[in-house]
Structure 1
Amino acid sequence: MSFTWFNEPKKWSDNSSVITVHTDGNTDFWRKTHYGFERDNGHFYYRSLPGDQSFTATVNIRGKYHTLYDQGGLMLRIDEKNWIKCGVEYVDDKQFASVVVTVNGWSDWSVVSIDSPDVLKLRVKRVKEAIHIEYAEGENGEFKMMRLAYFPVIDEKQSLMVGIMCASPGEDAQGFEITFQGFNIIQNQEK
């Protein structure tokens, strides 16, 4: 399984079971809505799947979040105008489970209040145009649905990028350390 960086961070390591990243400051993924700006410079470590492939991706994340909007989790990406990111986002000195869905160049954002767990588990399942996003708080937490989102299906000859992402968009962002453990992608038979 070959992985590639989109916007490789200055500091990171991968020991095959744990990926550790120290994010670069002033990095983010966002398109237009409300804030009026576009950023496509967050860190994304991914592998490519056929564009019409169904799959389930899972990961456990731990972060030392400390600056507004520090974030990390999973990402699905067709191109700069069509992607989804989900995971933890740090807002008002608190962790939130967060999802940003960007389709046709416009982002939306939804959050769920969580109890700032040491570990947030994520599970993302794609079947056709539906993306089912779930999260669990803590090592033994039970998965809960966070979002069911539309995401375009592309031709099997095109690639869908799937992987881990992190960023530090805050104005004073110096970056933070985040670890991704047990990252796994299982390709499902259904299309």
Structure 2
Amino acid sequence: MSFTWFNEPKKWSNNGSTISVHTDGKTDFWRKTHYGFERDNGHFYYRSFPGEQALTATVNVRGKYTILYDQGGLMLRIDEKNWIKCGVEYVEGNQFASVVVTVNGWSDWSVVPISSPDVLKLRVKREKEAVHIEYAEGENGEFKMMRLAYFPIPDKSQSIMVGIMCASPGEDTQGFEIDFDQLNIIENQEKA
């Protein structure tokens, strides 16, 4: 099963083990909460799975974050009103491990301070209506739980999309360079 772009960036490449992206400016995924605006123009490179499929996704993320809210990581998505993004987000000059959960058109955001590692490893496991999100700092870091989130099981007619995401929401940004290594999505035996 091949990958597909949602909002394909102008510059990107895939050498078989690393997906490299230069994000387009003024891109983001967000719905309503606090800021009042909605954006659904971030970059998302994904595969589709049956809506009830249990799965585990992993990736290593390396970015040259420089502008407020530069971000990249993993995403699970049903539609524009139901999705989860997790990874690195650059806030006030520091990297944070970040999760945004959007359900029924409303986003929430949580962050964990990290020590600006060269690489952030992510692991996301979906079982039924639960998504377990873990992160590890550096090549040899051990995974720690970042979030256990509710995520709806889609209708039988809908699929779940899983892959990498990145965005540059800043108003004065020309985007940034980000690499995704060892992206792996495994279908688990149990069904949702």
TM-score range (shorter-chain normalised) is over 0.9
- Name structure 2 gaps, 5 residues minimum: none
2:171 maps to 1:171? yes
User: Residue in 2 aligned with 1:145?
Assistant: 145
Range moving further from structure 2, 32-41 or 148-157 = 148-157
- Which amino acid is the alignment partner of residue 47 of structure 2? R
Identity of aligned residues (%): 84
2:136 maps to 1:136? yes
**8 Å contact kept, 1:53–1:156:** no
- Which amino acid is the alignment partner of residue 130 of structure 1? A
User: Residue in 2 aligned with 1:90?
Assistant: 90
CA RMSD of aligned residues (A): 0.6
- After superposition, the C-alpha distances for 1:72-106 in whole angstroms (9 at most, x for unaligned) are 00000000000000000000000000000000000
Give TM-score scaled by structure 2 length: 0.98
**Aligned-pair distance for 1:157?**
4.0
**Distance in 1 of aligned mates of 2:41 and 2:157:** 26
User: Residue in 2 aligned with 1:125?
Assistant: 125
Q: SS at the partner of 2:9?
A: coil
Give TM-score scaled by structure 1 length: 0.99
**Distance in 2 of aligned mates of 1:96 and 1:82:** 23
- Name structure 1 gaps, 5 residues minimum: none
**Aligned-pair distance for 1:34?**
0.1
2:116 maps to 1:116? yes
Q: SS at the partner of 1:132?
A: strand
Q: SS at the partner of 2:58?
A: strand
**Distance in 2 of aligned mates of 1:129 and 1:82:** 12
**Distance in 2 of aligned mates of 1:59 and 1:26:** 24
- Which amino acid is the alignment partner of residue 107 of structure 1? S
**Aligned-pair distance for 1:155?**
3.6
